[in-house]
Structure 1
Amino acid sequence: MDSQGWDDRYAASELVWGAAPNRWVVRELTGSTPGRALDLGAGEGRNAIWLATQGWEVTGLDFSAVALERAERLTAELPDEVADRLTWRHGDARTDEDPAAYDLVLVAYLQLPAEDRRAALHRAADALAPGGTLLVIGHDLTNLTDGVGGPQDPAVLFTPEDVLADLAEYGLRTVRAERVHRTVGEPGHKGGLTGVAVDALVRLERSAE
């Protein structure tokens, strides 16, 4: 789906993904020492906003202008000390060149064909500061047969092994590379589905040297 397609999708519904941060983002990053963070494919900003509440200085990048407008509206409702930690930028995760170095780069549910995914992950790895963390979360390929919800096109799904292969040349340390199971149909879940979804989760670190 191109940027216009995502603009249309975001415009058709209020808070497509809800306001709460992704559970894996919360699990992996609660208690982490805050620094500078980059959220690639930030959408309406739910994860970036949560990171800002934890003390992170966050740049949220997305190629949907509609999503970023919504993120800016949500930011305006936040306390100043949180809102001041958020910067929204319009750009493409596959091609955006950012000279800054980040202590955390988050890529959450950026479901792209393999070549585009690899380009986005390379941009993410390039943006990592020494000692930085790269956290990648998305719908796993096995969700098609073993889970519920999510994209039904296998071309945009991936596995933890795919992420590791995409980033093999960077020499990052693998902290975690696993499939995780997410219950859907809980209170507040949108979409009407119930069951268990299968996600891919990969956490990598750049050497501090």
Structure 2
Amino acid sequence: MDKERLAAFTDAVLAIIMTILVLELEKPTHVTWEGIWELRVNYFAYALSFFWLGFMWLSHHNAWHKIKKVNNSTVVYTLLMLFFASLFPYTTSIVAQNFNNVTAQFMYGIVILLVSLSNIGISHSLNVANHGKYFKTLYDLNTWAVVLDLSIKVLGLILTVTVFPPAVLYAVLINVIILSISEFFKKDNN
């Protein structure tokens, strides 16, 4: 498969997922500042999911021009990543309506982890397909960044099921902040 075809497919599916996120936002019962404020958890969950997906797309986009070839594993891992990412509108709406519910938060966290693990698979398959060339794509498997990323998410899940149900959303928020700072400095250093 041509790498551009896979990139275009990924871009299209992620754009659709991000659009569905906004369509799933609950409408205020009364269009007042109080009515909008009552939905602050919905807006938080939406914004968090949107920007997490957006930074994932940015990471794909920034590294993709360096890639020469993709293989079947890359396609399979990409399909898995898109499948798990397609669950974001569903889990985001559940977590927004049940913010302090352990099960809702755990479901959201599992989707985040599965997308992350799929991205690790994509990164590995791209390095293999390009004959061991090291591209630092998506997840740099040889640095502390992937360990930190996954550790924060797993810690969020553990805290969610033990003491603080919304911990997984806050763990994702921390990751989004780290990703945005990382992308800002990557841009400035290139």
- Pair in the same fold by TM > 0.5: no
Considering Cα pairs closer than 8 Å and 6+ residues apart, tell me whether 1 or 2 has the greater RCO: 2
Greater fraction helix: 2
TM-score, normalised with respect to structure 2: 0.25
Greater fraction strand: 1
TM-score, normalised with respect to structure 1: 0.24
